[in-house]
Chain A
Amino acid sequence: MLFLIAEDDLSSRIILQQLLSPYGEVHIAINGQEAIDLFKMSLDSKNYYDAIFLDIMMPVMNGKEALKEIRDLEKKNKLEKETYIMMVTALNTPKEVIESFYEGGCSSYTVKPVDRRKLIGKLREDKILR
């Protein structure tokens, strides 16, 4: 399993990383732009991510922009299937989540503070983890 986390807040980054690390390797980006760079590298090396976690609000490039860019890159590179992308959101930003679903094509979302059971449960439900 290979995960990518894009999150500007260190504490949220640490939590996600710690919760995911038992299941595989975790790459870290601190904003959308870094996430795009890492995603491009994964395309080059064909070492694709099994799941990507994008915080919605980030400096430099936010999660929604990163999501769109990743989907564009996937199309351009004719990837067989879309990467599983989970938006990480604060509970009071439903508008952003809705936009991510319908415009950006994200796969799911989780609400901060991230809860281990909900996160892992969701990933199992979506057949990312077995």
Chain B
Amino acid sequence: MQNFTLNSDLVNLILNSISSAIVITNENLEILFHNNVAGDLLNCKNSSDLSNILSTNDLVEKVNKLISHNDVTYEVFTSNITTLNNDSLICNVKFIKISNFYLLVIDDKTHLTQLINDLKNAKEAEEQAKKAQIDFLSNLSHEIRTPMNGVIGMTDLLAETNLDEEQLEYVNLIKKSSKSLMMLLNSLFDISKYEKDEIELNNEVFDFIELVESAVKSVDNLIKTKNLKFNYQIDKNIPEFLYGDFNKLKQLLSNLLHNAVKFTEQGYISLQVKEEATRFNSSNEKNHKILFIVADSGIGIKDEIKDKIYDRFSQGDTVMFKNYSGVGLGLTIVKQIVNLMKGEIWFESQVGKGTTFYVAIELTEKNSQTKNDDFTRIFSNINNDAHVELLEDLNINSKVTENQKNNLILIVDDNKLNQQVISNIFDKYGVKYKIMNNGLEAINELRTNKYDLVFMDMMMPVMDGIETTKIIRNGQYPEIDKNIKIIALTAFTQKEIENRYQDLQIDGLLSKPFHKNDILKLLKQHLPFVDIKNYELNESVDNEEEFAIEEVLDRIGNDKNLLKMIYQTFTQDIFKYIFSLNEALEKGDYHGAKVALHTMKSLTSNIGANRLTKVILNLEVLIEEKSYNRVNEFMNNLRIEIKNFLKVAETKIKEISGE
């Protein structure tokens, strides 16, 4: 090794070859040495220029401060330096004290600082833009929703007027389009709420099978239109009732299913629900980890877009955008719901073969649940279109026909709402029935009592309809009539049922959602001795029910006290209204009469005095048409009807009070 010493030339060379500016001063801050970089950086030709520059900047001040603290030997700080030709620099300064000298190492960080600031600003701007976009979306969807309510409301009203077939078709198209627009607006609204963290879980005890079935129902029509095969399976280990946010879970599942259908042109969609694990939580309740698997034989997801599928408005690539409707919000919402529920989501996909989505979510099995919970839930989900339609169907006012034969029908369905729907119809027509919650209960019941007809749901916990039907048909219980007529309750069509369960010997099929007329048709077909001919509505007063007490109770949530309150109001107010009506008519004040009739109509329709309401409606029409000569005749009818109503109502009210 060669002997090596640093001579001053070498030191000079080194100091001038590094990129930092170097200045060495004595204790009085007089410059003893500076390298070339220092001169270049600060644009100074000699030491005195440099001295000036340094002393006119905050650098000297900062250095003096450091010197005043005797113990500081090394410090790094940032200083703004203005050069001789007035450039502003942001510099990083190292201050080093070496015995009686000070060494300043100055690095120009102007560009770097600028760059960092630019980046920061850009990031902030982007965040703000994103927030603005979300706010915009949220406001926009809200603003459009408001007039859309008007459009939908008016379309509903329009549909109730006298339209010919063509007009009705157009109105229905408007309805359909506005509904899908509304759905889109709602998802936009939801997205903005999720992104602003405004959404909370609304947990309740719910019927798990109903969850799956209602999600399936939401894609049922689409699947049929596209002629896809579909099946779903629910693990029998999953409890009947679980605790969670029903509506969001339903949205999650239907979005996944919708997504699958959207990107599948032929083949199949399948939904599998498995219980993956269970554990006890801190409150000693059982948590079930449920795995939802939605598989399709669709176009699959290309590798390059796999990271983007949960992004807003992305839908595969832009080419796909043209072929597939929707704006690509479905999976974004799914992801957000999964996050909210602290679940997991992942998928496997092969281009051209299909995609399988997996969602794992933990749901609690509550130790105790009251029937009341269940009841409230039925009402809270009544919003569901099909159900509303059903229940509206039930609001018809009809006469119960006396039923001569002792025929009995067994309804086997675990879904409380379905039970309610069918039993309401049977009640109205005086058909006798009993309800069982699952196949096992049904078998036991059939062994003890004779029935003419069984309405059997196919999907049930404990023992499903398929197994139950097989047990009945194979004659293993001699006390059960193995040829008893069985009607399958299902969301599938006859053809699907035949394909699916070839050996299943059923006599008929009732598709969900149930319609009153379908049920009645089946009854006529299979129990011809039941007289249900006179159920059609009649416009004339005579066919109106005097006091539709059940209808009223149904409307007010079965609150008997409220019914009594309304009745009491009726007895007090009806005469007051009659009085003002009379007064108006005597004065020939027909506008006043109309107002009085209108108020009276609120009262009579509230208490379910349907016949009375009809008389009032007739009176309104008479006055509207200026047929004043017939008004007296109808006023008489009105008085008679009030008397009749009070008589009937008094008894019925007493009956329910006596309970």
Contact = CB atoms under 8 A, between A and B. Distances in A.
User: Do A and B come from the same complex?
Assistant: yes
Interface of A: 8-12, 14-15, 18-19, 55, 57, 59, 82, 90, 92, 94, 97-98, 101-102, 105, 107-109, 112-118, 120-121, 124-126, 130
Interface in B334-392: 379-380, 382-383, 388, 391
B598 A117 contact: no
B141 to A, nearest CB: 12
A105 B202 CA distance: 31
Contacts of B319: none
B213 interface: no
13 contacts: A9-B606, A11-B573, A15-B566, A94-B161, A97-B154, A109-B153, A117-B379, A117-B382, A117-B391, A118-B388, A120-B379, A121-B382, A124-B380
Nearest to B621: A92
A6 to B, nearest CB: 13
Given A11-B602, A90-B605, A101-B154, 9 more contacts: A9-B606, A10-B603, A11-B566, A14-B566, A101-B150, A107-B149, A113-B552, A113-B602, A116-B555
Among B154, B570, B572, max chain A CB count under 10 A is at: B154
A116 B602 contact: no
Interface stretch (B301-309, B428-436, B451-459, B556-564): B556-564
B595 A59 contact: yes
Contacts of A102: 150
Contacts of B599: 8-9, 57
Given A10-B569, A11-B607, A113-B555, A130 B202 contact: yes
A14 B559 CA distance: 12
A102 B147 CA distance: 8
A88 to B, nearest CB: 9
B157 interface: yes
Contacts of B391: 117
B174 to A, nearest CB: 15
B186 to A, nearest CB: 9
B288 interface: no
A113 B605 contact: yes
Interface in B600-627: 601-603, 605-608, 617, 620
Interface residues of B, number: 39
B153 A97 contact: yes
Nearest to B154: A98
A74 to B, nearest CB: 13
| In the A-B complex, the 10 residue pairs with the closest CB atoms | A101-B150, A113-B605, A9-B602, A11-B569, A116-B557, A11-B606, A121-B383, A115-B555, A94-B157, A12-B602
Nearest to A87: B153
B400 to A, nearest CB: 21
A55 B161 CA distance: 22
B598 A57 contact: yes
Among A11, A82, A101, A116, max chain B CB count under 10 A is at: A11
A99 to B, nearest CB: 11
B323 interface: no
B149 A9 contact: no
A94 B608 CA distance: 22
A92 B617 contact: yes
Given A9-B599, A11-B607, A97 B157 contact: yes
Contacts of A124: 380, 383
Interface in B572-599: 572-573, 595, 598-599
A90 B598 contact: yes
A120 B383 CA distance: 9
A8 B607 CA distance: 16
B581 to A, nearest CB: 14
A60 to B, nearest CB: 12
A45 to B, nearest CB: 26
Among B153, B557, B570, B608, max chain A CB count under 10 A is at: B153
Nearest to A14: B565
A105 B149 CA distance: 11
A51 to B, nearest CB: 13
Nearest to A105: B146
Contact of B602 (A92, A105, A112, A130): A112
